[in-house]
Amino acid sequence: AMAEEFSVLEAELVDAAKQGNIDHVIALLRDVGKLHHLWQPNPAQAVAIERAAERCMRKDEEKEKVKTEDLQGGEAEEVEEPKGKGEKLMKGYMVSSVNEWGADQTRILLLTTEAVHRVKYNFHTDAVVSYHSTPFSSILRVEYGSFSAAPSSLTTFMWRREIEDQQGFRIFTSQRDGKKSINEVVAEDVVPALEGDKKDEAPRPPAEEFFREYRALLAEEEPWKEEVFMLEFVAALQAVKILTGAQFGIKLTKMVKSMPGGIFSVLHNANRRRQHGL
């Protein structure tokens, strides 16, 4: 039933996007008529999303230099003109962003007409701490669905049931989004050092893609919320792809999940839930 409901939402979003009606797409995502029961921010989150958007997004008044030719046959000259109509916010979400250690972090995720912005926000000071922007042109693909525990890890084996209850999506890019995980450090630095002269014989190729994982914020106690959030965000991405002509693919799959931080990541995630009263 949930999938059917979101297929209706996706059809409405895609139809509006094909007509180029960006305002209707935004209204659908923000569920102005409360027709689809989509995620809505509470008042504090709404303020945080607004401030995050002000900090991250390109403004209307920003200009770019363009060359114009003199109609009288003179030389081309550079003038400043506005960059289109500026970046528009489609919707902002509160998410659990999974870092390189497998630890969940509370973040704001902004979906705009140009990029996906991940924002670290301090709710005590009402200020943006930092942010990372991923323009659509740098996204290789998006995968979404449920997870399976990586068989090579004792930690993921012990917590496999919790992992397999989760649903979310991963944004793949050609540039690293974050720091190296302990697994990457071992593979790229420690193992070659231990191998000594062998490392020159068959050098390991560098990773060609990286991903960042996202799930609904603190939905561990109500896993169905993760599916609702995931399906909504994927439907929004489909509409944005049509509006912007972005080329990345979107694929439903079962994603293999490991926790490079081991028991420390598990304890961090459990403590984070306690701090939020879960």
pLDDT for the residue numbered 208: 81
For 194-234, the DSSP string reads HHGGGGGTSPPPPPS-EEEEEEETT-TTSTHHHHHHHHHHH
Task: Locate 246 and state its tokens.
Answer: 């972005």
Residues of the chain with pLDDT under 50: 66-74, 76-77, 79-84, 181-191, 199, 277-278
What whole-number distance in Å separates Cα of residue 130 and Cα of residue 99? 15
pLDDT for the residue numbered 54: 96
Task: Locate 212 and state its tokens.
Answer: 């960042």
CB 160 within 8 A of CB 132: no
pLDDT for the residue numbered 92: 97
Nearest of 43, 21, 44, 23 to residue 32 by alpha carbon = 23
What is the Cβ-side half-sphere exposure of residue 222, based on CA atoms within 13 angstroms?
8
pLDDT digits (tens, 9 = 90+) for 48-101: 999 999 999 987 655 555 443 333 444 544 544 444 468 999 999 999 998 877
CB 121 within 8 A of CB 127: yes
213 Cβ neighbours under 8 A, 6+ residues apart:
97, 98, 168, 169, 170, 255, 257
pLDDT for the residue numbered 175: 84
CB 12 within 8 A of CB 26: no
pLDDT for the residue numbered 259: 67
Burial class from Cβ neighbours inside 10 Å (0-12, 13-18, 19+) for residue 49 reads buried
CB 136 within 8 A of CB 130: no
Query: Residue 143: phi, psi to the nearest 5?
Result: -115, 145
pLDDT for the residue numbered 161: 79
Q: What's the pTM value of the predicted model, to 2 decimals?
A: 0.78
Amino acid at 57: M
Q: Which residue in the block uniquely carries the two structure tokens 């046959």?
A: 73
**R_g over Cα of the chain:** 22
pLDDT for the residue numbered 80: 46
Amino acid at 230: M
